[in-house]
Amino acid sequence: MRKLIFWVHTSIDGHIDGPAGEFDWPMMGEELSAYSEALCERSDTFLYGRGVWEGMVAFWPNAEKMSDHPHVLKFAPLWRSTPKIVASTTIEHDDWATEVIGTDLAERITDLKRQPGADLLLTGGSGLAGELTRLGLIDEYHIAVHPVVLGGGRPLFPRGGDRLGLRFAESRVCDEGVVVTRYDRA
Protein backbone atom coordinates (compact mmCIF):
# COMPACT_ATOMS: atom_id res chain seq x y z
CA MET A 1 0.00 0.00 0.00
CA ARG A 2 1.21 3.49 -0.83
CA LYS A 3 2.08 5.81 2.04
CA LEU A 4 0.76 9.32 2.55
CA ILE A 5 3.66 11.56 3.59
CA PHE A 6 3.13 15.00 5.12
CA TRP A 7 6.01 17.47 4.47
CA VAL A 8 5.77 20.85 6.17
CA HIS A 9 7.87 23.83 7.25
CA THR A 10 7.17 25.44 10.61
CA SER A 11 8.65 28.09 12.87
CA ILE A 12 9.93 27.20 16.32
CA ASP A 13 6.76 28.74 17.75
CA GLY A 14 4.67 26.32 15.69
CA HIS A 15 3.34 28.43 12.80
CA ILE A 16 3.28 27.51 9.11
CA ASP A 17 3.00 31.12 8.01
CA GLY A 18 3.39 34.53 9.58
CA PRO A 19 0.69 36.75 11.12
CA ALA A 20 -0.14 38.25 7.69
CA GLY A 21 0.12 34.91 5.87
CA GLU A 22 3.73 35.49 4.80
CA PHE A 23 5.83 32.51 3.74
CA ASP A 24 9.10 34.31 3.09
CA TRP A 25 11.01 32.83 6.03
CA PRO A 26 11.86 29.17 5.12
CA MET A 27 15.54 28.83 4.29
CA MET A 28 16.11 26.23 1.55
CA GLY A 29 19.80 25.46 1.75
CA GLU A 30 21.46 22.63 -0.13
CA GLU A 31 20.83 19.95 2.52
CA LEU A 32 17.19 20.86 3.13
CA SER A 33 16.58 21.05 -0.61
CA ALA A 34 18.08 17.57 -1.03
CA TYR A 35 15.81 16.25 1.75
CA SER A 36 12.75 17.75 0.07
CA GLU A 37 13.80 16.43 -3.33
CA ALA A 38 14.26 12.92 -1.89
CA LEU A 39 10.67 12.99 -0.61
CA CYS A 40 9.51 14.05 -4.07
CA GLU A 41 11.46 11.21 -5.67
CA ARG A 42 9.64 8.71 -3.40
CA SER A 43 6.31 10.07 -4.61
CA ASP A 44 4.41 9.95 -7.87
CA THR A 45 1.51 12.18 -6.80
CA PHE A 46 1.49 15.54 -4.99
CA LEU A 47 -1.45 16.47 -2.76
CA TYR A 48 -2.42 20.00 -1.70
CA GLY A 49 -5.12 21.82 0.19
CA ARG A 50 -6.62 24.93 -1.40
CA GLY A 51 -4.45 27.50 0.37
CA VAL A 52 -1.12 25.87 -0.42
CA TRP A 53 -2.34 25.07 -3.93
CA GLU A 54 -3.01 28.73 -4.66
CA GLY A 55 0.55 29.59 -3.63
CA MET A 56 2.05 26.70 -5.60
CA VAL A 57 0.17 27.42 -8.81
CA ALA A 58 1.07 31.11 -8.58
CA PHE A 59 4.80 30.28 -8.56
CA TRP A 60 5.84 26.86 -9.87
CA PRO A 61 4.47 26.90 -13.44
CA ASN A 62 6.93 29.71 -14.28
CA ALA A 63 9.31 29.46 -11.34
CA GLU A 64 12.53 29.61 -13.35
CA LYS A 65 11.58 33.10 -14.58
CA MET A 66 11.26 34.29 -10.96
CA SER A 67 14.24 32.62 -9.29
CA ASP A 68 17.53 30.98 -10.16
CA HIS A 69 17.84 29.23 -6.77
CA PRO A 70 19.18 25.67 -7.36
CA HIS A 71 16.17 24.10 -5.58
CA VAL A 72 13.76 26.06 -7.77
CA LEU A 73 15.59 25.04 -10.94
CA LYS A 74 15.51 21.36 -9.95
CA PHE A 75 11.98 21.18 -8.50
CA ALA A 76 10.03 23.26 -11.04
CA PRO A 77 10.17 20.72 -13.91
CA LEU A 78 9.33 17.92 -11.47
CA TRP A 79 6.37 19.87 -10.10
CA ARG A 80 5.00 20.53 -13.58
CA SER A 81 5.29 16.87 -14.66
CA THR A 82 3.98 15.18 -11.50
CA PRO A 83 0.24 14.53 -11.11
CA LYS A 84 -1.24 16.95 -8.58
CA ILE A 85 -4.43 16.49 -6.55
CA VAL A 86 -6.14 19.39 -4.78
CA ALA A 87 -8.59 18.91 -1.93
CA SER A 88 -11.01 21.82 -1.98
CA THR A 89 -14.71 22.49 -1.71
CA THR A 90 -14.34 25.85 -3.50
CA ILE A 91 -12.12 24.98 -6.48
CA GLU A 92 -13.92 22.95 -9.12
CA HIS A 93 -11.20 22.81 -11.79
CA ASP A 94 -7.66 24.01 -12.34
CA ASP A 95 -5.54 23.47 -15.44
CA TRP A 96 -2.54 22.42 -13.35
CA ALA A 97 -4.49 19.99 -11.15
CA THR A 98 -4.91 16.41 -12.27
CA GLU A 99 -7.89 16.05 -9.95
CA VAL A 100 -9.87 18.13 -7.47
CA ILE A 101 -11.40 16.28 -4.53
CA GLY A 102 -14.41 18.24 -3.32
CA THR A 103 -16.27 15.62 -1.31
CA ASP A 104 -15.64 12.13 0.05
CA LEU A 105 -12.07 13.00 1.06
CA ALA A 106 -11.54 9.92 3.24
CA GLU A 107 -12.87 7.56 0.59
CA ARG A 108 -10.82 9.09 -2.22
CA ILE A 109 -7.53 9.25 -0.29
CA THR A 110 -8.01 5.67 0.96
CA ASP A 111 -8.62 4.60 -2.64
CA LEU A 112 -5.47 6.41 -3.83
CA LYS A 113 -3.39 4.73 -1.11
CA ARG A 114 -4.64 1.31 -2.26
CA GLN A 115 -3.71 1.90 -5.90
CA PRO A 116 -0.34 0.71 -7.19
CA GLY A 117 2.37 3.31 -7.42
CA ALA A 118 4.79 5.33 -5.38
CA ASP A 119 3.89 7.33 -2.27
CA LEU A 120 1.61 10.39 -2.07
CA LEU A 121 3.20 13.63 -0.87
CA LEU A 122 1.08 16.20 0.98
CA THR A 123 3.01 19.45 1.13
CA GLY A 124 2.35 22.21 3.64
CA GLY A 125 -0.87 23.56 5.01
CA SER A 126 -2.64 22.78 8.24
CA GLY A 127 -6.32 22.33 7.44
CA LEU A 128 -6.02 19.36 5.10
CA ALA A 129 -3.21 17.83 7.16
CA GLY A 130 -5.32 18.18 10.29
CA GLU A 131 -8.29 16.50 8.64
CA LEU A 132 -6.20 13.67 7.18
CA THR A 133 -4.54 13.22 10.59
CA ARG A 134 -7.98 13.02 12.22
CA LEU A 135 -8.97 10.39 9.66
CA GLY A 136 -5.80 8.38 10.38
CA LEU A 137 -4.59 8.57 6.78
CA ILE A 138 -1.13 10.17 7.17
CA ASP A 139 1.62 7.59 7.55
CA GLU A 140 4.71 9.81 7.94
CA TYR A 141 5.16 13.35 9.23
CA HIS A 142 8.29 15.18 8.04
CA ILE A 143 8.50 18.49 9.90
CA ALA A 144 11.18 21.07 9.13
CA VAL A 145 11.55 23.47 12.06
CA HIS A 146 13.18 26.72 10.99
CA PRO A 147 15.06 28.91 13.49
CA VAL A 148 12.57 31.77 13.42
CA VAL A 149 9.84 32.96 15.77
CA LEU A 150 6.91 34.30 13.75
CA GLY A 151 4.80 35.48 16.68
CA GLY A 152 1.56 34.38 15.06
CA GLY A 153 0.01 32.88 11.97
CA ARG A 154 -1.67 29.57 11.30
CA PRO A 155 -0.68 26.82 13.73
CA LEU A 156 0.98 23.68 12.44
CA PHE A 157 -2.18 21.76 13.33
CA PRO A 158 -5.65 23.21 13.86
CA ARG A 159 -6.68 23.52 17.46
CA GLY A 160 -9.24 21.15 18.91
CA GLY A 161 -7.97 17.94 17.33
CA ASP A 162 -7.71 14.65 19.14
CA ARG A 163 -4.48 13.50 20.71
CA LEU A 164 -2.40 11.30 18.41
CA GLY A 165 0.64 9.34 19.48
CA LEU A 166 3.40 9.19 16.88
CA ARG A 167 6.60 7.15 16.77
CA PHE A 168 9.90 8.99 16.38
CA ALA A 169 11.77 7.74 13.28
CA GLU A 170 14.69 10.13 12.71
CA SER A 171 15.94 13.67 13.10
CA ARG A 172 18.69 15.65 11.46
CA VAL A 173 20.05 19.16 11.43
CA CYS A 174 20.31 20.68 7.97
CA ASP A 175 22.01 23.79 6.74
CA GLU A 176 20.84 27.11 8.13
CA GLY A 177 20.08 25.35 11.45
CA VAL A 178 16.83 23.79 10.21
CA VAL A 179 15.91 20.65 12.16
CA VAL A 180 13.94 18.03 10.23
CA THR A 181 12.21 15.35 12.27
CA ARG A 182 10.26 12.41 10.91
CA TYR A 183 7.52 10.75 12.89
CA ASP A 184 5.55 7.69 11.80
CA ARG A 185 1.99 6.89 12.71
CA ALA A 186 2.14 4.61 15.74
Fold of 4-185: Dihydrofolate Reductase, subunit A (3.40.430)
CA 32: distance to chain centroid? 14
Residue 23 pLDDT > 80: yes
Q: Which residues contact 171 (CB under 8 A, 6 or more apart)?
A: 179, 180, 181, 182
Cα–Cα distance for residue pair 24/40, rounded to 1 Å: 21
Q: What is the pLDDT of residue 96?
A: 95
Average pLDDT rounded to a whole number, residues 66-87: 95
Q: Which residues contact 163 (CB under 8 A, 6 or more apart)?
A: none
CA-based nearest residue to 154, from 10, 9, 51, 17: 17
Domain regions of the chain by residue span: 4-185
Q: What is the pLDDT of residue 101?
A: 96
Q: Max Cα separation, the chain?
A: 43
Q: What is the pLDDT of residue 159?
A: 84
Cα–Cα distance for residue pair 178/148, rounded to 1 Å: 10
pTM for this prediction: 0.95
pLDDT bracket for residue 110 (50, 70, 90): very high
DSSP reduced 3-state for 123? strand
Residue 163 pLDDT > 80: yes
Percent of the chain with pLDDT over 90: 95
